[in-house]
Amino acid sequence: MTRTACAPGLLRAGVEERTGELLTATVLAERVGWAAGLVSGMAADLLTAHWNAADVDVLASGLDAGGRKLPSNAWMALRRLGWTVTPAEGIVVNDRIVRMAQEHSGRTLRSAKWRADLTRGVTGTWPADPAKRTPEEWDAVREAIPGGRHLPSSVITSRTRQVDVFTRKHDRLPVDVFELEAAPHSARMLLLSACDGQQATIARADDPGRALLRLQLPTRPDPRSYQDWTWVACPITLPPTIPPGALLHLPTLRIHQGKVRADLAYTHAVPKARRTGHAIALGVDWGLNTLLSAGAVRLNNDGKVTALGTGGMFRAAGVLAKQHRLRRESQHLHAKTDHFQRLMSGDAQHQLTTKHHMLIEETRHVSNRRSNLNDALAWAAARWAVDQAIATDATVIYVEDLRSMEARGMGRTMNTRLSQQIRGQIVERMRHLAAETGIAVVTVPAHNTSKQCPRCLVPLRHRKAPDRPTTSGWKWAICPNPDCGWQGDRDTGAWQRIAARGLTHQAKTVADCSTGEMVIRSVVDRLEVNAVVAQATIETRRDRSKTGPTRRRTTRPAPRRRRAPSPARPQGSAGQRPEGHAPTGRTRLLRAAHRNQGVTTISTPSAKLSAPPEQGRPHPGHRPRGAALGAGFHLHAHATPPRWTHPAARHACLGIPQLIRDAHS
């Protein structure tokens, strides 16, 4: 089985083949930008001319005027329909530049068909209350949308809100999506996959980690003749994720932050993922702060499902906290930008114009930080889940399908956090990484996975964890069935239920024809009865019956205590071995436990520290647990006293606590 994937690359320099001139990264980005501008301009003209329901329906039908099947390539389909475009007057480009413009606009027009059908179904079954549909109205709108039975409800809800805004503004429903949305912006990029060897070529170099990309680029922003186009050779360092034997395809070039980015497409052989026949599966459950909880289960020959270990958790509380801080900052910047926009009232000479532009740039910067953070978190979580499957020899990963989950009734902050989870990105990257090893990723219904007991399917009782009685939430689950008695973390029970449900319903797994994604769409009661995790076999006590003669023991056993008394203990911290049964542990806490709060501590002193502490004792209002134990690195970290606190501190040694106390005073 072959798999086509994409990896990011960078064009750092180029060589003009006609003159041998070395092109720096800046010059190369400029020339690629000129070519991308020509392509973007022609693509925008095509989109504007054919952004209507009639043309989109003709392109989506797959047949031309003569009834012949349209080609799969977008640029060839547009040429069959006679949708052509020409550059501006006086500009000379070859036919491959026009191909890239037609390919870009054709892909966009084809993708608009799905949005048009969705909008037509929503407006055709417009509910009495757009904010809340009745069950009958939900059934009607799903029937009106092609494939609406398996469409996430959040997609229908978001489109309903968009139509509702248009209705309140114009006092009528939109005719179609083309009235609701303007023609999309044409991105500045070069789709070299629509070209042939007369425009661009790519081949591996002698080094398997490098490749050479040759393409024609203009020497000026408005080429007047074919002499203004020259061949440029660009060496590319291939990412380590591209296998040495992979087949390279022509990349897509785009300008990002003044650099030429290349999306390198490649094809390589991978094991085929199976839909059925799985014996070991990894179940993955979603959480809020504990982003992922996963564990493996086995389907035995007798049909019973048993857990393999206790599973693991992927905690990302720190990253998610930073994500929420950036979200609040972005909301504040958006509100301030809108306020400035209202104050300016379209006046370009207003005194707030400069500040308004600064706020726009800052908002874009925060948005980029959020995007990069989400991308890094999604890759890390997906890599962790796939590694868990590889370590347990699992051939399938079952993930609960939460695409239709809408956060309601849990407060404004909690609803926003749940709505902005990156579950879709994690699953997409999980499929990408799992395909390299032939592991299937299947989504299963999430109904009652956290509610029912994984052993007997009885509804659980949730309460606070016994080891964290002061932590808010209901993380602990207890089965009220006296014959079962299971209890544990609710996320642990959830991933066991997900994996057991997937293994028992694996015959119901279907693959989407367009995307290839595997999914179990519904739960069958007959199979759900067997979707329980059997209790692990209780280990019996080792048989200690006598099976042979008693081992001979020595006649001179080692003494339990020293025969001779130890010398007297000297005055000071150093000393000899203890005498007899004298305790070997330290008699007092470390100096760190008695050190007062000062400039060398990380934690913030409590507001109760109004009176100075007694000599040799910590403050009564601030007693961290780590400091009380004497070590206190993670809970109460201490650092070496800085030199500027006291001149003599740089010469102080660890055995003179008085100088250190002076340094803190």
DSSP string, 17-46: TTT-PEEPHHHHHHHHHHHHHHHHHHHHHH
Alpha-carbon distance of 359 to 338, in angstroms, equals 10
Q: What is the pLDDT, as a whole number, of residue 170?
A: 92
- Assess whether pLDDT exceeds 80 at residue 404: no
The confidence score (pLDDT) of residue 403 equals: 62
pLDDT at 218 (0 to 100): 95
Asked whether the beta carbons of 322 and 373 are under 8 A apart, the reply is: yes
Is 538 exposed, middle or buried (CB count within 10 Å of its CB: 0-12, 13-18, 19+)?
Answer: exposed
Q: Give the pLDDT score at 201.
A: 96
* pLDDT over 80 at 660, yes or no: no
Length of the chain: 665
Please report where in the chains the tokens 């040429």 appear, as a residue. 79
Whether residue 631 is predicted with pLDDT greater than 50 in this model: the reply is no
CB atoms within 10 A of CB 4: 11
Please answer whether residues 654 and 595 qualify as being in contact, where contact means their C-beta atoms are separated by less than 8 angstroms. no
pLDDT, tens digit, 9 for 90 and up, residues 376-391: 989 999 999 999 999 9
Judged against a pLDDT cut of 80, whether residue 283 lies above it is answered with yes
Read off the tokens for 272.
């085929």
Q: What confidence score (pLDDT) does residue 635 get?
A: 38
* pLDDT recorded at residue 310: 86
pLDDT computed for residue 648 by the predictor? 44
Mean pLDDT lowest among 188-192, 327-331, 513-517, 593-597: 593-597
According to DSSP, the residues that pair with 452 across neighbouring strands are: 459
Q: Higher confidence at residue 624 or residue 395? A: 395
Q: Residue 406: which pLDDT band, with cuts at 50, 70 and 90? A: low
Q: Which amino acid is at 189?
A: M
The three-class DSSP label of residue 85 is: coil
pLDDT at 154: 81
Bridge partners (DSSP) listed for residue 217: 230
Q: How far is CA 496 from CA 263, 399, 401, 426, 449, in A?
A: 39, 11, 15, 20, 9
**Is the pLDDT confidence value at 578 over 80?**
no
| 485 pLDDT more than 90 | no
Q: Which long-range contacts (CB under 8 A, 24 or more apart) does 147-156 make?
A: 148/121, 150/519, 150/521, 152/403, 152/404, 153/404, 153/406, 154/403, 154/404, 154/405, 154/406, 155/118, 156/118, 156/122
How many CB atoms lie under 10 A from the CB of residue 635? 14
CA distances from 73 to 97, 105, 663 (A): 15, 12, 76
Q: Over the stretch 530-545, which tens digit does the pLDDT of each residue have? A: 899 987 655 555 666 7
pLDDT of residue 52: 93
Bridge partners, residue 255, by sequence: 260
Lowest mean pLDDT among 34-48, 233-247, 438-452, 643-657: 643-657
Lowest mean pLDDT, pick from 252-261, 337-346, 546-555, 588-597: 588-597
pLDDT grade for 644, boundaries at 50, 70 and 90: very low
- Return the number of other C-beta atoms located less than 10 Å from residue 15's C-beta: 17
- Parse the chain into domains and list their residue ranges: 2-6+188-269, 36-180, 280-314+375-534, 629-665
Over the stretch 218-227, which tens digit does the pLDDT of each residue have? 999 999 999 9
Identify the residue with better confidence: 55 or 407: 55
Residue 252 buriedness (CB in 10 A; 0-12 / 13-18 / 19+): buried
pLDDT at 499 exceeding the cut of 90: yes
Greatest mean pLDDT among 114-128, 317-331, 531-545, 629-643 lies in 114-128
Task: Yes or no: say if 406 and 310 are a contact pair by the CB < 8 Å rule.
Answer: no
More confident residue, 634 or 394: 394
The 3-class secondary structure across 346-374, one letter per residue, is CCCCCCCHHHHHHHHHHHHHHHHHHHHHH
pLDDT class for 633, splitting at 50, 70, 90?
A: very low
Collect contacts of 110-117 with beta carbons under 8 A, ≥24 apart.
Answer: 110/59, 110/60, 110/74, 112/51, 112/56, 112/177, 112/178, 113/56, 113/57, 113/59, 113/60, 115/177, 115/181, 116/53, 116/56, 116/57, 116/176, 116/177, 116/178, 117/145, 117/146
Question: What percent of the chain is modeled with pLDDT above 90?
Answer: 52
φ, ψ of residue 461 in degrees (nearest 5): -110, 125
* Helices H / strands E in the chain, number of each: 16, 21
Written as one string, the DSSP assignment of 588-632 is S--HHHHPPP-TTBSSPPPTTTTSPPPTTS--TT---HHHHHT--
Q: How many CB atoms lie within 10 A of CB 620?
A: 12
For residue range 106-153, list pLDDT tens digits in order: 999 999 999 999 999 999 999 999 988 999 999 999 999 998 888 888
Does the pLDDT of residue 409 top 60, yes or no? Answer: no
β-sheet bridge partners, residue 2: 269
Report DSSP state, residue 170.
H
pLDDT, residue 639, reads: 40
Specify the DSSP class assigned to residue 519.
Answer: E
Q: How far is it, in rounded angstroms, from Cα 552 to Cα 555? A: 9
Read off the pLDDT band of 413 (50, 70, 90): low
Using an 8 Å Cβ cutoff, are 504 and 530 in contact?
Answer: yes
Cβ–Cβ under 8 Å, residues 616 and 594: yes
Q: Tell me the fold of 280-314+375-534.
A: Nucleotidyltransferase; domain 5 (3.30.420)
Rounded-to-integer distance, Cα 58 and Cα 302, Å: 55
Residue 95 has pLDDT above 60, yes or no: yes
User: Tokens 């400091």 sit at which residue?
Assistant: 627
Q: Which residues are paired to 442 by β-bridges?
A: 398, 518
Residues 514-537 have a mean pLDDT of 85
Mean pLDDT to the nearest integer, 468-478 = 78
Q: Between 493 and 539, where is the model more confident?
A: 493
Give the residue ranges of DSSP H helices in 508-665.
Answer: 525-528, 591-594, 625-629, 657-664
Do 284 and 294 form a contact (C-beta atoms < 8 A)? yes
Show the tokens assigned to 525: 């009661």
- pLDDT, residue 147, reads 85
User: Which of 276-285, 488-497, 567-576, 632-641 is predicted least confidently?
Assistant: 632-641
Question: What is the CB-side half-sphere exposure of residue 273 using CA atoms within 13 A?
Answer: 25
Lookup result for tokens 């009865």? 529
**Does residue 199 contact residue 192 with C-beta atoms inside 8 Å?**
yes
CB contact at 8 A, 32 and 298: no
Query: How does the average pLDDT of the chain come out, rounded?
Result: 82
Other beta carbons within 10 Å of 504? 22
pLDDT at 276 over 70: yes
- What's the one-letter identity of residue 394? A
pLDDT given at position 643: 44
Q: For residue 98, count CB atoms less than 10 angstroms from its CB and return exposed for 0-12, middle for 13-18, buried for 19 or more.
A: buried
The pLDDT value given to residue 598? 45
Please name which of 187, 190, 332, 165 lies closest in space to residue 263, comparing C-alpha atoms. 190
Rounded Cα distance between 517 and 403, Å, is: 14
CATH 2.60.40 describes domain 2-6+188-269: yes
Decide: pTM greater than 0.75.
no
What's residue 66's pLDDT?
87
> Could you count the other beta carbons within 10 Å of the beta carbon of residue 431?
22
Q: In the predicted model, is pLDDT for residue 422 greater than 90?
A: no
Q: How far lies 322's CA from each of 78, 291, 333, in Å? A: 47, 14, 16
* End-to-end CA separation in angstroms for the chain: 72
Phi-psi region of 246 (alpha: psi -120 to 50; beta: other; left: phi over 0): beta
Q: Tokens at residue 418, please? A: 């749940």
